[in-house]
Amino acid sequence: MNRLAIRLCSVLLPLLLLSGCGTVRTLDAGKPGAPIVYSGTRLDWYSLNGGCCPVDRFGAEAPRYAALDLPASLLLDTLLLPFSLAAVLGVGLNVQGGL
């Protein structure tokens, strides 16, 4: 099991670094009216289907390799789903990060 985890991380980490994770890009953009729930997955899907203006719609540029980024964005969007649903519903979680 440990070797499997190491192999999985060794494959996913370069993919995230090369493609510029769509989820991180969209959540960091903070564009009013942009999708929040599954935003990175939606950005990748939009890009794969020939969407013309991702910056206007999502507030972020689409990853260069959207097909490679799609599984990682789907996983990260799923992990962040409770927080994104809370943001859409207007629930203030008062979560802060950093030092």
Q: What is the pLDDT of residues 46-78, one digit of tens each?
A: 888 988 888 888 888 888 888 888 888 888 889
pTM for this prediction: 0.69
- pLDDT for residue 15: 60
Confidence band, pLDDT 50/70/90 cuts, at residue 25: confident
Given a cut of 70, whether residue 14 has pLDDT beyond it is no
Can you give the residue ranges of every domain in the chain?
22-89
Q: Round the average pLDDT of the chain to a whole number and report it.
A: 80
| Helix intervals (H) in the chain | 2-19, 22-29, 39-48, 54-58, 66-79, 81-89
